[in-house]
Every structure is written in C-alpha cells, then in structure tokens.
Amino acid sequence: MQAPTIEYGTLAPMLLVFGAAVLGVLVEAFAPRYLRKVMQVPLTLVSLGGAFALVLVQVIMRGAPTEAVAMGAVAVDGPALFIWGVILVLSFVCVLLVNDEGHFVASAAAVPGSADEEEAEAAGSGHTEIYPLLLFAVGGMMLFPAAHDLLTMFVGLEVMSLPLYLMCGLARRRRLLSQEASMKYFLLGAFSSAFFLYGTAMLYGYAGTVSLPGINKALAGGALLDPLLLIGFAMLGVGLLFKIGAAPFQAWKPDVYQGAPTPITALMASGTLVAAMGAVLRVFWVGLGNLDWNWRPVMWAVAALTMIVGAVLAITQTDIKRMLAYSSIAHAGFLLIGVMATFDKSQQNAGSLSAILFYLLVYSFTTVGAFAIVTMVRDPGGEAGHLSRWAGLGKRSPVLAGVFAFFLLAFAGIPLTSGFFGKYAVFAAALASGSESGDSLGGWMTGLVVLGVVASAVAAFFYVRVIVLMFFSEPAADGPSIAEPSMGTVAVIAVAALVTVGVGLFPQPMLDVAHQAAANLFIR
C-alpha cells in the first residue's frame, strides 16, 4: 500500500506564512533588540507578498486542485484560493498600519501608568513580537476556511484566534480599555471554541467521522432528526456564527473593536471576517448540505436578526469604532443572505458563491481604509473616538474627510461605489436562487432581501449622519489634530480608495475573477 503524500506545492502559500512566523519567533529569541524591527518588518512583508505570488502561480500555472490534499485534511479549491489571495493582500496592507509608530505599548507586562511603563517608553522599546503573532494569525486565517475536516478546522480556528487575543491587549493608549477588550475576546472566544469542539464531538458520534464529505454522506442515508446530529449542528453553528459576529452572538464585536489597537481592529474586521465566512460556506455547503431543510429556517432568522441588530444599534453609537463594529454586524447579515442562496446545490450556487466572494473582497478593502483614517484623527489622549470630536473635520482636513465620506457611502451601498455592486450581487443571487427553487423558498428569499434593503436604508442614516457632522458642523476650538501620515498609512488609504472607486466604476473584471473562483464550487 502506497504511503499518503502531502502536496507541498499546493500548500506552499500557507506553509510559507507559517515558516515565516516560526522564523520571526527565532528572531525575537536570539536577535539583539535594536535589530528586531529591522528584521521583522521585511520578513513579514516579504513572506506575505511571496505567499500571494504563490497563490497566483497556483491559479495561473496549475489551476485549482480537484481533490483534497494533506491526506484529505485541506481542500485548496477555487473559493479557498480566492479567499487566500484576499486575506494575504489585506494582511499585507494591515502590516503597513501596524508598522506605523504609536499604536502599541512598549511593555505589555508593565502595569498601566507605572514606573516600569514609563521606563520602557523612555527606552524606546517596542513590541516587535507583533509581527510573528500576526503571521500566525494569518496562517490560521488561511487554514480555517480551507479545512476539509472539523478537527483541522478547529486547529485553524485556534491558531487564528489566540494571537488576536494577545494583540488586542497591546494598545499604547487607553491600556485598561485595551486589556479589557483582550480579556472579553479571550473569554467569549474560548466559550465559542468550546461550542465548536463539542459540536464536532456530537457530529462524530452521529456520522463516525469528522470529515466534511463523510458527514454529508452520513446525512444522505441517516436519520435527519437524530439528537446527536441536531445538537452537534446547533453547537457547531454557534462557534462559526460567533466568528463572523452574527446576532445573537455579536456582543464581543463592539467592545473588542473599540479597545483593540486600530490596526488589529482593521485586521479582524477584514481578514477574520473573510476567513470565518469561508469556513461557514464550507461547513454548510460540503458538510451539512443534505441537512438544508433543517438549517435553512434557522439561518433565515439569524440573517434577519443580524441585519436588524447591526443597523438599529449602530444609530445609538457615539464612538466611531463601535459604530463601524455594528456596521460590520449588519454586513455579516447581508453576507448570510448569500449563504441562504447556496442551499439548493444547483448550478445557481456558483452565482451565489461568486457574489459572496465578491462582497467579501470589496467590503474588506473599504473597511481597512476606513480604519486607517481613524488612526489619523487624534486627541491628546490618542485617537479621537467620540463622534462629537469629528465635527467640522471636513473644514480642517477636507481631503481626509472626503475619502472617509466616500468609504461610508460605499458601506451604505450608494451607486458608483464597490459597496453598491457587492450588495446588488448578493441580493440578485438570492432572488434568483429563490425563483429557481420551485418551492416556498422564493417567498422566504424575497422577504429576506426586502429586509436587507430596509436595513441598508437604516444603515445609510448613520453613515450620512457622520458625513453631515464632518462637513456641516463647525469645528471646535480644541478639536482633534490630524496626524502626519506615514508612507504606509498613505499607501493603505490609497489602495482601499482605488479598489472602492475602481470596482465601483468597473466591477465586471473583479466579478469575473470571483465567478471563475466559484465555477468549480467546493471540493466534496
């Protein structure tokens, strides 16, 4: 019997990221302090850029694999390659934000306000271990949506999450708020991971395997009302929906987004969402496809509740990062509409899947650009988070305020922005899937799309409110200052604006790329 082999060429992008993370740990352990940042930043950027190049080589030269690799544990199919490419580019631009000065504390072990902290600040110490932590998180983001069995997916989930728990508590300003955010994220994240793992155990008890195709095969010939199956499905769903911030599992998002260093918030709001949504699609498509009549009403309710909670509660927020957090919750609801449209396993699924991939791409870049601008609006105590401090920003810095307003309009889905075509693609795919189903799904999907349009209109209110505040209010005499941006921050904002404008004016090339990635669907 021939021994199983591992396709190292297929896994090369992910292996490169993990290898660079390990090398970064060695740099932290053995390199002199004054050389660490000089070595860590190029290592991180080169590894992420190299991994993206390897993804392009895989797509262009070899095409998407049609079988799972690593002894069936990882499925690097078309959707996974697309998600990998998006995560790597987003991570690259987030590293440019991380490299900007002033975001991270000099000594995490020092008590806030203590003499030890002042000594570390005076010595110019910096947290260079941010870079290997970030690489481990990115490696987990790549493994999570490509996992072909639930245990590998759990490993990816933990490798992605644990570094983020640490990085959330390393903000230089408002240390206690940052440490509180880290603790909340850790506790709630560990709780959701326990749900995921217990759900995996229940599904193993039902199907006798943790392989997603194996679970799907067991569903085709087994009892669909088995308690092990239903409990396992429910717990697994809790663990996955927590990661995308879907209601009623969204409570962590506003607190964590507000307290974490803004570059880490940008990474979580973009890369983590892309990875988690990819995992949701793979589990419900490959593993629980034959259970669609059981999970479809539940997913409908979760999508509806997520859109309502995100849109309505965002109106009441007075902090800019919390408002963007609730905006992210609403967008998770819009993405779940696309997940609903993928249930029927017909050819229409390719259209629904490509719409979700396209939405993830355009929303994530706009999100990173918005948070990059947040890092530049400063008070003496750090970033100016309260919305009242943004009054009159359009008169102080019209270019910066104008770009931020454009990002907000893209979130709202205004025409000629990438956000408009993202929402249109998801809503159109959902309506088409409902009309092709030939059953009561059409009415359900139509109602969900109508609710999505209403939620978008509600969300537009608080986006426009910020724009009005910036351009039609008088700036306060002691208003915030605009930090001199580094070249990295300028590059991040420029790339995000270019994607938002370019895709808004010429969406078809990127739609074609997403459709090509989704054409062969997931490996089953």
Q: Which two tokens stand for residue 200?
A: 């995996």
> What is the C-alpha to C-alpha distance for residues 428 and 423, in angstroms, rounded to an integer?
8
Please report which residue ranges of 320-397 form alpha helices under DSSP H: 320-340, 348-374, 393-396
Give residue 474's pLDDT: 83
The CA–CA distances, whole Å, from 459 to 61, 154, 290, 323, 455 equal: 43, 34, 35, 10, 6
Phi, psi of 294 (to 5 degrees): -85, -40
The mean per-residue pLDDT over the stretch 366-382 comes to 89
Q: Which two tokens stand for residue 254?
A: 């506003």
Which amino acid, 131? Y
pTM of the complete model: 0.94
Which amino acid, 260? A
> What is the C-alpha to C-alpha distance for residues 69 and 56, in angstroms, rounded to an integer?
18
460 neighbors 310 (Cβ within 8 angstroms): no
Domain extents for the chain?
A: 294-523
181 neighbors 168 (Cβ within 8 angstroms): yes
DSSP for 477-499 reads TTPPEE----HHHHHHHHHHHHH
The mean per-residue pLDDT over the stretch 104-128 comes to 69
Which amino acid, 15? L
pLDDT digits (tens, 9 = 90+) for 120-161: 666 655 678 899 999 999 999 999 999 999 999 999 999 999
The mean per-residue pLDDT over the stretch 499-508 comes to 93
- Cβ-in-10-Å burial (0-12, 13-18, 19+) of 24 comes to buried
pLDDT digits (tens, 9 = 90+) for 167-211: 998 888 788 889 999 999 999 999 999 999 999 999 999 999 999
Across the chain, what does the average pLDDT equal? 88
Give residue 61's pLDDT: 85
Helix axes 273-282, 150-167, angle to 10 degrees: 170
Percent of the chain past pLDDT 90, that is, above it, reads: 62
Choose from 25-39, 347-361, 459-473 the range with maximum mean pLDDT. 459-473
Which amino acid, 255? D
Give residue 440's pLDDT: 57
240 neighbors 279 (Cβ within 8 angstroms): yes
pLDDT digits (tens, 9 = 90+) for 41-61: 999 999 999 999 999 999 988
At residue 292 the predicted structure's pLDDT band, cuts being 50, 70 and 90, is low
> What is the C-alpha to C-alpha distance for residues 270 and 406, in angstroms, rounded to an integer?
18
